[in-house]
């Protein structure tokens, strides 16, 4: 049997972005995942769907898995020859209760590896713009837990320039009382950062005298508390324009969304909802026949990233490469389509400036009379306008099925819950088909159109907007440039003008 191994990994302060490269690599190969109450579900998506996932998270006030049980799980799966990832928030060796797990693994002869994570004790002040050290105001700092306030040496702690306190939401009043009793001024600066790094991050600043009034009635879990003069040095950079917005992105089931990366870079929290299933056509015959006579075509037109990938993958399956396109010019619709084409080492000869198929004919770079055009496309449900326009201008268009798209059978659980709990601020659609499929999927929920109340419906272009109007009765914004970048800009502009 292959030797098992356990990886004790820190997940960082919460956001997927702050996970280490080593942690991402190990999550991708995990056969068993034993994880705590992580703050961003996307981290769990890095693990294969075939892996066993065991939630042992400790949540305040709720029943939790006994530490001994966790130790046994790690040992048992390791001895079975499994690659086991033990995932904990922050850094595993800072208030992570990892030592008992290390001890149990060592005693059982199990191999293990420690992988550091960014602790919230350091990340929270940084993300709040607070320097933990300063040559004049903060020459040292101490990090401690607010759980057991009775055993702490408050006389010693009160003398330290800066204090960073974890798990102290419920004991804040006691901490303030003890510090003041041991000589700390009531005017001492304090900051509280809740849900650091997440879109729900909140920050309170004040003094030991007034912070309790500011946070009265507010749950401060999970939070980091910083006490010291360095809090007065706080400088925040401008907020990202989409900070605080939760955006639902409809996408193909098999594809990780480039759009998600664009939105998250602007501060948004993104929920991805698979609304398309891309699969091979019912028959390859028509595409294979066209590939066999590629040299007879003047132009190859590709209007989607899926069309590009399926066409070139089929070309390779038939034992051909890009040399088979010698003498054939290529027109593509959209920046993303062009970008995928470049992955195959080809630069398109023409991209219509409006990035939509409807403008391709109007801007075509040469007379179409007598031209023979190959158009690999979706098998069913595609629009006929492009073929009609090309044919009316004298071209002979050979349409072939390169792929098929359909609607998933079930609505994504995470997306469904976010909609039903009214956590979504904006829903984005990059094609008419995703609009139609989204509409079909939400019929599985009671009162489906109520899910869209107070939600902004964002469209990438005119045809997508038309479908939104037909099915939802409205569309709230449309990109001026019909690209994902254009849609991102349109969302930002709308929020700036509210």
- Is there a contact between 437 and 408 (Cβ–Cβ < 8 Å)? yes
Q: Looking at 167, 273, 336, 389, which residue is catalytic?
A: 167
Q: Which residues pair with 34 in a beta bridge?
A: 54, 86
Mapping DSSP to helix (H, G, I), strand (E, B) and coil, where does residue 386 land?
helix
36 is catalytic: yes
Helix 258-265 and helix 484-496: axis angle, to 10°? 30
- Is there a contact between 479 and 354 (Cβ–Cβ < 8 Å)? no
Distances (CA, A) of 265 to 32, 274, 419, 428: 31, 21, 23, 16
Beta strand ranges found along 216-289 (DSSP E): 223-227, 246-252, 269-279
**For residue 387, what are the contacts with CB-CB under 8 A and spacing of at least 6?**
375, 397, 399
Strand order in the sheet with 162-166: 141-145, 162-166, 223-227, 189-194, 202-207
**For residue 270, what are the contacts with CB-CB under 8 A and spacing of at least 6?**
246, 247, 248, 249, 257, 260, 263, 264
Q: Looking at 3, 17, 55, 58, which residue is catalytic?
A: 58
58 is catalytic: yes
Place of tokens 């990233």: 305
Q: Which of 278, 256, 306, 271 is nearest to 412 (CA)?
A: 271
Vertex 258 angle, CA 360 and 242, to 5°: 105
Residue 240: count other Cβ atoms within 10 Å of its Cβ. 15
| Catalytic positions, written as ranges | 36, 58, 167
């Amino acid at each position: 049997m292959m030797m098992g191994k356990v990886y004790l990994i820190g997940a960082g302060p919460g956001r997927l972005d702050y996970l280490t490269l080593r942690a991402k690599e190990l999550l991708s190969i995990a056969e068993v995942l034993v994880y705590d109450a992580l703050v961003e579900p996307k981290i769990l998506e890095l693990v294969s769907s075939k892996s066993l996932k065991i939630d042992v998270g400790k949540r305040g006030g709720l029943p939790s898995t006994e530490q001994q049980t966790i130790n046994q799980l790690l040992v048992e799966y390791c001895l079975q020859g499994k690659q086991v990832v033990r995932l904990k928030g922050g850094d595993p060796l800072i208030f992570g209760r990892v030592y008992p797990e290390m001890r149990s693994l060592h005693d059982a002869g199990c191999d293990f590896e420690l992988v550091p994570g960014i602790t919230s004790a350091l990340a929270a002040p940084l993300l709040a713009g607070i320097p933990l050290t300063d040559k004049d105001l903060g020459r040292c700092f101490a990090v401690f837990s607010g759980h057991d306030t009775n055993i702490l040496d408050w006389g010693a702690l009160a003398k330290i320039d800066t204090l960073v306190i974890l798990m102290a939401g419920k004991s804040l009043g006691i901490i303030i009382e003890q510090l003041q009793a041991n000589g700390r001024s009531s005017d001492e600066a304090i900051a509280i950062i809740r849900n650091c790094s997440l879109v729900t991050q909140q920050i309170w600043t004040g003094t030991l005298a007034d912070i309790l009034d500011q946070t009265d009635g507010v749950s401060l879990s999970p939070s980091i508390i910083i006490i010291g003069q360095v809090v007065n040095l706080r400088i925040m950079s401008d907020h990202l324009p989409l900070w605080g917005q939760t955006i639902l992105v409809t996408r193909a089931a098999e594809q990780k969304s480039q759009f998600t990366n664009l939105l998250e870079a602007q501060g948004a929290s993104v929920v991805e909802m698979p609304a398309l299933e891309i699969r091979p056509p019912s028959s390859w015959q028509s595409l294979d026949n066209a590939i066999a006579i590629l040299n007879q075509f003047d132009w190859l037109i590709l209007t989607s990233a899926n069309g590009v990938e399926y066409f070139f993958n089929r070309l390779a399956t038939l034992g051909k490469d890009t040399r088979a396109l010698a003498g054939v010019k290529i027109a593509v619709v959209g920046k993303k389509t062009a970008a995928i084409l470049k992955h195959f080492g080809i630069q398109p000869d023409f991209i219509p400036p409006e990035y939509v198929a409807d403008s391709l004919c109007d801007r075509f770079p040469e007379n179409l009379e007598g031209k023979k055009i190959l158009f690999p496309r979706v098998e069913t449900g595609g629009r006929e306008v492009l073929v009609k326009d090309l044919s009316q201008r004298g071209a002979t268009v050979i349409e072939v099925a390169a792929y098929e798209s359909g609607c998933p059978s079930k609505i994504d659980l995470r997306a469904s819950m976010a909609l039903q709990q009214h956590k979504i601020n904006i829903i984005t659609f990059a094609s008419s088909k995703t609009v139609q499929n989204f509409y079909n999927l939400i019929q599985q929920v009671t009162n489906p159109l109520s899910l869209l109340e107070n939600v902004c419906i964002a469209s990438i272009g005119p045809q997508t907007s038309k479908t939104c109007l037909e099915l939802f009765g409205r569309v709230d914004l449309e990109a001026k440039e019909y690209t994902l970048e254009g849609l991102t800009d349109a969302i930002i502009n709308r929020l700036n003008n509210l």
